[in-house]
């Protein structure tokens, strides 16, 4: 088996080298990688789970660019307010179930939607949080419409956290933010995943992949930098969390993101956690950090007025 694996790696390296040597082959390979990176991740999620003994029902909303999003709302008998949860790349709202469970038990209503091109929501391409900012804004509007006089917060995981940053001031319904495992900028996020999640030979085509992706999606990779947008969440409180062993949202990079935030802000490492297990690896410690942050800030955080003229990141 090990010999077969080594042979497959060797063959991929040879083929990628040949493709890189040809202009047409280079462009074709870059286009194929771009399509693969931005592909949809659909899943059938028809039934709302019975989460923490709470009533749970299906929800839907429509984004400003016309996509229908599918979601759930789980609520305790007397909610203290609402927490919206936004999942990461290649996941769906199932990724938020552990978080929904302890939040509902603590008295918070939870709303979780599939991002565009994920789960049961519409969409054919993902954009690493850039156009997902429209998803965040649509969910924030839904919460403001359904529960206008209750406090609300947002919790984003990786891509979902980046989308919260890109949505910025278009989410006045949210009075506090929990940003988990969020990348500092998209260029470094791609570089960190080459050889750690993505095949190492992708590096030969990185410039071409960026060029093709920008034209396919109509966005600038350099602009997709949460660190340049996170200040737009101010003056609302921000809690940044990442795993001590996260290779994609490293403690150093999240620390740099923290430096760009305005007060009130907090930054905590979850010992032993990687990129996709911050909730389970962190256990009770993780839960206490999130619940403590909500208890300290949500009731007293300032409510922003929506600026209808302020553009989304995308």
Q: For position 307, what pLDDT does the model report? A: 47
Q: Does 17 have pLDDT greater than 60? A: no
In the chain, domain spans: 1-37+195-222, 45-185+224-297
Q: What is the pLDDT of residues 36-72, one digit of tens each?
A: 999 999 998 867 776 555 778 999 999 999 999 999 9
Phi and psi torsions of 156, nearest 5°: -120, 140
Q: Which residue has the higher pLDDT, 29 or 9?
A: 29
Please state the rounded mean pLDDT for residues 135-144: 98
Does domain 45-185+224-297 match CATH 3.20.20.150?
A: no
Q: For position 49, what pLDDT does the model report? A: 72
Q: For position 150, what pLDDT does the model report? A: 96
Q: For position 10, what pLDDT does the model report? A: 41
Q: For position 184, what pLDDT does the model report? A: 93
State the Cα–Cα distance between residues 19 and 5, nearest whole angstrom.
Answer: 21
- Reported as a pLDDT band with limits 50, 70 and 90, residue 6 is low
Please state the rounded mean pLDDT for residues 1-19: 48
Q: For position 9, what pLDDT does the model report? A: 46
Please state the rounded mean pLDDT for residues 144-172: 97
Cis peptide bond prior to 107, omega within 30° of 0: no
Q: Does 121 have pLDDT greater than 80? A: yes
- Measured CA angle at 71 (ends 184, 78), to 5 deg: 100
Q: What is the pLDDT of residues 187-220, one digit of tens each?
A: 888 877 765 777 887 788 888 888 999 999 999 9
Q: For position 28, what pLDDT does the model report? A: 85
The beta-carbon contacts of 48-57 under 8 Å, at least 24 apart in sequence, are 48/72, 48/74, 49/74, 49/97, 51/97, 51/100, 51/101, 51/104, 51/110, 52/76, 52/100, 52/101, 52/102, 52/104, 52/105, 54/104
Q: Does 18 have pLDDT greater than 60? A: no
Q: In this structure, are residues 19 and 29 in contact, taking their beta carbons and an 8 Å threshold?
A: yes
How confident is the prediction for the chain on average, in pLDDT? 88
pLDDT > 90 fraction of the chain, expressed in percent and rounded = 72
Q: For position 200, what pLDDT does the model report? A: 80
Q: Which residue has the higher pLDDT, 200 or 160?
A: 160
List residues bridging with 82 in a β-sheet.
109, 152
Supply the pTM of this predicted model.
Answer: 0.88
User: Which of 8-12, 136-140, 192-196 is predicted with the least confidence, judged by mean pLDDT?
Assistant: 8-12
CB neighbour class for 190 (10 Å; exposed up to 12, middle 13-18, buried from 19): buried
pLDDT > 70 fraction of the chain, expressed in percent and rounded = 85
Q: In this structure, are residues 58 and 49 in contact, taking their beta carbons and an 8 Å threshold?
A: no
Q: Does 122 have pLDDT greater than 60? A: yes
Q: Does 3 have pLDDT greater than 60? A: no
Q: What is the pLDDT of residues 251-303, one digit of tens each?
A: 999 999 999 999 999 999 999 999 999 999 999 999 999 999 999 998 754 44
Q: What is the pLDDT of residues 220-248, one digit of tens each?
A: 999 999 999 999 999 999 999 999 999 99
């Amino acid at each position: 088996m090990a010999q077969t694996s080594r042979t497959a790696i060797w063959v991929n390296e040879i083929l990628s080298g040949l493709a890189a040597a040809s202009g047409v082959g280079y462009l074709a390979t870059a286009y194929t990688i771009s399509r693969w990176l931005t592909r949809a991740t659909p899943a059938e999620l028809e039934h709302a789970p019975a989460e923490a003994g709470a009533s749970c029902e299906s929800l839907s909303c429509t984004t400003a660019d016309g996509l229908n999003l599918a979601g759930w709302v789980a609520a305790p008998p007397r909610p203290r307010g609402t927490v919206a949860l936004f999942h990461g790349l290649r996941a769906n709202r199932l990724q938020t179930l552990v978080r929904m469970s302890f939040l509902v038990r603590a008295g918070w209503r939870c709303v979780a939607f599939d991002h565009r091109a994920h789960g049961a929501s519409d969409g054919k391409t993902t954009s690493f949080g850039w156009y997902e900012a429209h998803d965040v804004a649509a969910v924030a509007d839904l919460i403001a419409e359904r529960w206008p006089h209750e406090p609300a917060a947002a919790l984003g995981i990786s891509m979902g956290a980046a989308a919260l940053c890109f949505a910025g001031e278009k989410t006045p319904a949210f009075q506090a933010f929990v940003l988990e495992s969020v990348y500092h900028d998209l260029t470094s996020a791609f570089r960190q995943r080459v050889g750690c999640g993505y095949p190492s030979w992708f590096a030969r085509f990185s410039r071409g992949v960026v060029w093709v992706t920008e034209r396919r999606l109509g966005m600038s990779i350099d602009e997709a930098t949460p660190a340049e947008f996170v200040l737009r969440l101010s003056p609302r409180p921000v809690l940044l969390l990442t795993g001590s062993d996260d290779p994609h949202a490293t403690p150093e990079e999240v620390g740099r993101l923290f430096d760009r935030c305005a007060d009130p802000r907090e930054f905590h490492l979850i010992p032993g956690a990687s990129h996709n297990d911050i909730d389970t690896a962190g256990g009770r410690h993780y839960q206490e950090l999130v619940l403590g942050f909500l208890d300290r800030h949500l009731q007293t955080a300032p409510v922003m007025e929506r600026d209808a003229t302020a553009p989304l990141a995308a």
